[in-house]
Amino acid sequence: MNGRLRHPGIDRILMLAVLGLLVLGTLLVWSATSHRDDLTGGDPTAYLRKQLVNVCIGLVLMVVVMATDHRWVRIVAPLVYVAALGGLVLVLTMGTTVNGSRSWIDLAGMSIQPSELAKLAVVIGMALLVAERNEGRRTRVGAVEVVGMLLVAGVPASLIMLQPDLGTLLVLSATVFGVLAVAGAPRRWLALLALGGGAAAVTAFAGHLLKPYQVDRFLAFTNPDLDPRGAGYNTEQARIAVGNGGWFGQGLFHGSQTRSGFVPEQHTDFIFTVAGEELGLVGAGILIALLGVVIWRALAISAMSTDLFGRVAAAGIACWLGFQAFQNIGMCLGIMPVTGVPLPFVSYGGSSMFAGMLAVGLLQNLHLRATASLPTRYARPVRETHLIPR
């Protein structure tokens, strides 16, 4: 025997990185809300308990997906996509408007944001389509596959645009581009999509298709001093909070900006400012490093996957989590416009947590399948032994 099969197991590095983000995020949410009587009703641990419930539910979802047979994952994928579309339609008909966007559905005392789950649905939908048409064949991804994948992404993107949820749309657009590139779409298609996206953005801005508050956010991004008490307030206060942290921070639960409540939505969209102020450059750097490890392991799982579905799905998850993390941290640092996207595994909220943990479960599922079928890379050959000396 020139090799042996690997013993299947979970990706421990990925799991440790995700657990580290969950612990760190829970502490940051607690710090951002413990002093806010207007949010907690006088109970400083209210949001801590809610976030722990979100984490526990997310871990259960991760285990369920991880333990599911890979064949069932592909069978259930279309149902997940249809369910995501149904949720987006329900948002437009009976959703709740928050910060100018109708993105939430109130169910049994919980607020669900279907657009978060739609990101994962689009990734696995596109991966399934290209795998069903090209798996086992030596043909390149052609125009038919590219158009089909764009249609899979275009339907939920159109529903998200109607909410409107510009932040999620930006993340979804970057994810779709990454999935097409990994799937092997011709470069001319990628170039046309990039040019088309740029032209659409310019047209939307010049044609007054954006909401006034969205235009104000982009103007404030280019010049935060333009309206420091209005659209530029979030960016200015976020910069101050991060700058207050120095190298090692002011200490957990001791951030001056955080305790004063100057940064809006600090437990959700601006959670990174808590890390920057209270844990400093070192603590914020550790958080970014953990996110980088998650993205690295997703790309590694994509590279070792034995089928096209696994390669495209894992790479799509890496693109989604990577760009969303960049967008969230970037708006806290003032290098990206303010859009309402959470920091994966860190921000408070159930929908984002559930979508992220389902994605981790899928990555672990793909890893289990890959390690069960790939030979050990450096396995030594089995030597012939003799009980009786020659």
The structural domains of the chain, with segments of one domain joined by +, span 12-87+190-372
Virtual CA dihedral for 27, 31, 33, 34, nearest 10 degrees?
110
Predicted pLDDT at 378: 37
Report yes or no: 74 and 128 within 8 Å, Cβ to Cβ. Answer: yes
Report yes or no: 105 and 112 within 8 Å, Cβ to Cβ. Answer: yes
Strand partners, 112: 105
Helices (H) and strands (E) in the chain, counts: 14, 3
CA distances from 71 to 52, 62, 247 (A): 32, 17, 48
Q: Taking the chain, what is the end-to-end CA distance rounded to the nearest angstrom?
A: 23
Single-letter amino acid, residue 139:
T
- Element housing 334 (H / E): none
Mapped onto helix, strand or coil, the DSSP state of residue 266 is coil
Virtual CA dihedral for 141, 147, 148, 153, nearest 10 degrees?
110
Report yes or no: 363 and 11 within 8 Å, Cβ to Cβ. Answer: yes
CA distances from 10 to 14, 297, 350, 365, 371 (A): 8, 11, 24, 8, 9
The candidate with the shortest Cα–Cα distance to 167, out of 353, 340, 372, 386, is 340
Predicted pLDDT at 289: 97
The crossing angle, in degrees rounded to 10, of helices 12-33 and 271-304 is 170
Backbone φ and ψ of 20, nearest 5° = -60, -40
> Up-side HSE of residue 22: CA atoms within 13 Å toward CB?
22
d(CA 184, CA 145) in angstroms, rounded, equals 10
CA distances from 145 to 105, 124, 150 (A): 33, 15, 9
Instruction: Please report, in tens digits, the pLDDT of each residue of the chain (390 residues total).
Output: 344 445 568 899 999 999 999 999 999 999 999 988 777 777 889 999 999 999 999 999 999 999 988 778 888 888 989 999 999 999 888 877 776 677 888 776 677 889 999 999 999 999 999 888 776 565 567 788 888 899 999 999 999 988 888 888 889 999 999 999 888 888 888 888 888 877 877 776 666 666 666 666 676 666 666 655 555 778 888 888 998 989 999 999 999 888 888 888 899 999 999 999 999 999 999 999 999 999 999 999 999 988 889 999 999 999 999 999 999 999 888 888 888 899 999 999 899 999 999 999 999 999 998 887 655 543 444 444 444 444
Predicted pLDDT at 2: 44
Backbone φ and ψ of 245, nearest 5° = -75, -30
d(CA 324, CA 175) in angstroms, rounded, equals 9
Over residues 71-81, the pLDDT tens digits come to 788 888 889 89
Predicted pLDDT at 388: 41
> Up-side HSE of residue 92: CA atoms within 13 Å toward CB?
15
d(CA 9, CA 15) in angstroms, rounded, equals 11
The dihedral of CA 14, 19, 25, 28: what is its sign?
Answer: negative
Backbone φ and ψ of 195, nearest 5° = -65, -40
* Length, in residues, of the chain: 390
- The model's pTM is 0.88
Over residues 26-71, the pLDDT tens digits come to 999 999 999 887 777 778 899 999 999 999 999 999 999 999 887 7
* Cβ neighbours around 190 below 10 Å, total: 14
